Structure 1
Amino acid sequence: MKTKIFQKVGLLGAATLLLLASVGCNSEQSGKDDNGNSKLIIYSESATYEGPVDGYMGKYLEDKANVALNVVPNSVGGSSRFETKLATGDLGNLIVFTSAADFKKAIDAGAVLDLKDELKNLPNIARFSKAVDRVKNSFGGVYGIPTGVSASNEVNQIDPVVIPSLRFDYYQELGTPEVKDYWDFYDVIEKMVKAHPTTEGGDTFYGLSLFSEWDGNSVGMAQKVAEAYGYTASDGVNKYSFIMPHATEDKVENLLADDSYYLKSLQWFNKFYQNGMLDEDSVSQTWADFLKKAEKGQSAIWMFGYMGDLNFNPMNQDLVKQGKGYKRIPFANLKAAEAKSSTVGSSWFWAVSSSTENKEAALKLLDFFYSDEGALAYHLGPKGLLWDINEKGEPIVTELGKAPYETAVPEEWGGGKVDDTLKTMFNGAALDGNSISPILNAPMNKTTWKSYLQDNATMLDKNWTKHYDGVLSAKEYMVKNGRVASYTVVDVPNFQYDDLLAVKRDQVGSIIKELSWKMIYAKNNDEFEALKKEMIQKAKSLGYDECVAFEEEAAKVWFKARKAAN
């Protein structure tokens, strides 16, 4: 188990690990390429891509920072390589941590640099003093920088992930029936699937498609309904496994409590299965598989709402021009939990490996990522390619920026395809893309721009806007109607399970995840209830209540801190 491996690593001691690091670094991790660019490896816990940062962003970084990047993802086939990489010192030059526990292990092993003496030469990082202080206070040094930082705390303009998207043209065919709550989507979807059993391309049109690759200690997608009702799996600093604190009220959702949103979501998923409308690959398909189905429009509803707007619609522009495609549906009692842009950053961290031989280049690049220019490049690419600024000083999307993701980029820009972004490759936004860029005087997220929402509105967009009283986005509608439970991310300690409780957490999580998926695929209600009873009994016997009590104490700290901050 992970804990046991770490205990063995701990016995080696920091000095031994650093010795291993000097041996474990391969030649790609140091030196320069044939063009004189410093070669750097980014080891990312959030990446699914492996290979060089090439194409137009590779050329941009060569021209701007004289670096040639290679990305190494943490997970291969769903299995983490972190413990092995830590033991061998093979963490690259720059690291994206999505786990505070892994970040702490790397600190204890001496595998990441303390940047406190480097800050004077890192002006872009140093300006986010609250984020820097948070790491210093939580971990005893500036061993990394939180991702997703912002100059201020503000409600963003982006549509929340948890507002589902539906085939809006099919919804109109049904007369746009009122959807009072999340569960009401089922009846609407059932009618859609009966009327349209296949997609325009001839593929099966499911009522619901899920995926399992991102599951932690439960079925991740079964938590999304609770998020649509004001609960959150993260306070912005910590991630919770078995509870979901409310974003604005001092209460928590216990995943296995009677009538919890988690258990109701599993039953809702099972209803799709029992009636032949669930994508049968849901339990086994990867994120990449899931995306392909989104691009082909193989589900009536996408619980991650952006998969309709940003995956199907751009790939099917001929249909969109005819008013066919996906749009967000803010149901009547929606109250989406959402973190404001944050001056203290998120629960992910950038760090610099202590074994890097290209320290100066690594630090220079990291500081560039935290600059306004570097943040724009991360989120939007080079100015003039996919975006530009018009004569009024407003950001606009170029013709190439409107093109499908697979569209080729001209060789003079570096080639590749439109979707070859830094987010696609290593997924570690230094600055929050929903925050206001002083260069644009607008958010870096193009989907909030007037040029994106209005000037280039399609027939599909116009039909949706007409139905929702003239608003241009779901977020505008939600703010207007009080449907957002937004919260400020405050500086709270990173809570850590002790070794014994961490073992219990992993065992409990494993059984919850296993039996939750079995419940989704239960053949009838009796089997579903029997599996639910088995899951709750086994989870409690393994220490579920102890884990919940620990997380509830952490939630109380958050509740107290946010009251003090408001």
Structure 2
Amino acid sequence: MTFGPEIRWDLYQKLGSPQIKTLDDYLTVLKQMQQLSPKSDSGKPTYGFSLWSDWDGSGSMNVGSITALYGYGTGDGFNKADLILTKADEAKWQGLLDDDGYYLKGVKFFFDANKMGLLDPDSLTQKFSDVSNKYKDGQILFAQFPWVSSNYNTTEHTSAGKGFAFVPFGDEKMSSVGFKPQGGTWYWSIGAKTKYPERVMQFLNWLYTPEGVMVSSYGPKGLIWDIKDGKPTLTDFGYKAITNSVNMPDEYGGGLYKDGVNQINNATISKSMINPETGEPYDYTMWTSYLNHNPDPVTKSWRDAMGALTVRDYVVKNNQVAVAPEYSSSEAPAEQPADIKQKNSEVGKVIKEYSWKLMFAKDDNEFNSLKQQLITKAKGLGYDDVVKWQVDKYEKTVGAALKK
């Protein structure tokens, strides 16, 4: 899962796990959680949200993560330059500045959070690295992304029953990207002066086989992992190696396990694909054996309460995920004309600037005034022209494919 939302499960349970029907319901719950835990591990004040701007494009990337909870996103990523949101699994779109659209709803959500003292004031100036450290310290109670909450969900915390877990709201439909059967945009190549190119080709071919994926990812079969009753499992040594990076046996060369893992900064096939030899994904964290191996108190409590083994199981079972099917075309992506490109850039800067001003507006009157300024400025710079161009391209390509 790319998106959340995840909240501090231990605090949520202490509140009696109140029902969260709408996005705005998180604000009430988070305020109560903040009152339960006003200080972090190091004694700093806690907040519901902590944002960062160094990944922004046209608008705020963090606001974009909120639109994704309704199944909407920008065509080329939340930190890029589209001025329209598109539905993952339906031929629908919204302009970023649509009054009833999810982008402005996300901006208003963080504005309301700030009024309640839930938005970290450092959000205006900090970078992602600062936010990561705050999660580690327990300063933040809500996570837009599961990979952010992992900073807090250490073995030390989860074994003590403290940690983040997925808690969706009633009408959530999380956006998710489907597989790309034709591959990605990272490549493997063989050097022109390679002495034995056929041996390189044999090695590359092996990396794409089930054995190659397993061995290159985790290490030797029988030592780190094995097959039991046709299913993959980590060995006792494998659990220690992957979690604590122990020393390898002498017959395997010795040294720390972590120093021997694959260092190639490229991938073959996605590890969440099914290994045809086992019927389970290549990713060991998705193996049934791993999922059922001594789950920590947070995981066990979440599973008991939610009636699911994983977040993926939950959202699929409850129809709360919108998967974008892979779209491909034999035509090259359309290049924006110079005038549209110029307007897109200028409008994007204004939307980004005003998104932050709106989130930190001092009251409702200032929020409404700034919102009107944003719309007036953006439209004056050609917002409608850019949206029209992007919608036209969308409806002829991805939108047309989704309608079929």
Normalising TM by the smaller chain, what interval?
A: 0.7 to 0.9
- 1:473 and 2:310 aligned: yes
Q: Is the 8 A contact 2:91 2:402 kept in 1?
A: no
Is the partner of 1:207 in helix, strand or coil? Answer: coil
> Which of residues 386, 390, 393 in structure 2 aligns to 1:547?
386
Q: Is the 8 A contact 1:165 1:306 kept in 2?
A: no
1:527: which partner in 2? 366
Residues 512, 418 of structure 1: alpha-carbon distance in 2 compared, 3 angstrom cutoff: farther
2:151: which partner in 1? 311
2:219: which partner in 1? 382
1:400: which partner in 2? 240
1:457: which partner in 2? 295
> Which of residues 120, 125, 128 in structure 2 aligns to 1:284?
125
Q: Is the 8 A contact 1:209 1:282 kept in 2?
A: yes
Q: Is the 8 A contact 1:385 1:400 kept in 2?
A: no
For 1:546 and 1:420, the matched residues in 2 are separated by 51
Query: Which AA in structure 1 matches 2:61?
Result: G
Is the partner of 1:211 in helix, strand or coil? Answer: coil
For 2:222 and 2:60, the matched residues in 1 are separated by 39
Residues 502, 164 of structure 1: alpha-carbon distance in 2 compared, 3 angstrom cutoff: same
Write the mapping of 1:82-481 to structure 2, written as runs, cut at 5 A: 160-234=1-75, 241-308=82-149, 310-313=150-153, 315=154, 317-346=155-184, 349-351=185-187, 372=210, 375-376=213-214, 380-383=217-220, 388-397=225-234, 398-400=238-240, 403=243, 407=244, 410=247, 412=253, 415=256, 426=265, 429-438=267-276, 440-468=278-306, 470-481=307-318
For 1:174 and 1:555, the matched residues in 2 are separated by 45
For 1:359 and 1:339, the matched residues in 2 are separated by 40
1:373, CA displacement in angstroms? 5.4
Residues 466, 504 of structure 1: alpha-carbon distance in 2 compared, 3 angstrom cutoff: same
For 2:262 and 2:37, the matched residues in 1 are separated by 35
For 1:171 and 1:523, the matched residues in 2 are separated by 29
Q: Is the 8 A contact 1:255 1:262 kept in 2?
A: yes
For 2:223 and 2:116, the matched residues in 1 are separated by 44
Residues 547, 333 of structure 1: alpha-carbon distance in 2 compared, 3 angstrom cutoff: same
CA shift digits 1:69-99 (9 cap, x unpaired): xxxxxxxxxxxxxxxxxxxxxxxxxxxxxxx
For 1:517 and 1:395, the matched residues in 2 are separated by 48
CA shift digits 1:96-146 (9 cap, x unpaired): xxxxxxxxxxxxxxxxxxxxxxxxxxxxxxxxxxxxxxxxxxxxxxxxxxx
Q: Percent identity?
A: 31
Count of residue pairs brought into register by the alignment: 390
1:489: which partner in 2? 326
Query: Which AA in structure 2 matches 1:562?
Result: L
1:354, CA displacement in angstroms? 12
1:402, CA displacement in angstroms? 5.6
Q: Is the 8 A contact 2:219 2:261 kept in 1?
A: no
Residues 465, 376 of structure 1: alpha-carbon distance in 2 compared, 3 angstrom cutoff: same
1:339, CA displacement in angstroms? 2.4
1:420, CA displacement in angstroms? 8.2
Q: Is the 8 A contact 1:386 1:400 kept in 2?
A: no
1:301, CA displacement in angstroms? 0.6
Is the partner of 1:179 in helix, strand or coil? Answer: coil
CA shift digits 1:149-191 (9 cap, x unpaired): xxxxxxxxxxx22221111110011110000022211110000
Is the partner of 2:295 in helix, strand or coil? Answer: coil
1:516: which partner in 2? 355
Q: Is the 8 A contact 1:218 1:241 kept in 2?
A: no
| Unmatched 5+ stretches in structure 1 | 1-159
Q: Is the 8 A contact 2:53 2:126 kept in 1?
A: yes
1:385, CA displacement in angstroms? 11
| Unmatched 5+ stretches in structure 2 | none
Write the mapping of 1:28-39 to structure 2, written as runs, cut at 5 A: none
For 1:254 and 1:359, the matched residues in 2 are separated by 55
Query: Which AA in structure 2 matches 1:193?
Result: Q
Residues 458, 371 of structure 1: alpha-carbon distance in 2 compared, 3 angstrom cutoff: same
TM-score norm. by structure 1 comes to 0.62
CA shift digits 1:528-565 (9 cap, x unpaired): 2222222222222222111111211222121222344x
Query: Which AA in structure 1 matches 2:289?
Result: S
- 1:503 and 2:342 aligned: yes
For 2:193 and 2:66, the matched residues in 1 are separated by 46
Is the partner of 2:181 in helix, strand or coil? Answer: coil
1:272, CA displacement in angstroms? 2.3
For 1:274 and 1:359, the matched residues in 2 are separated by 66
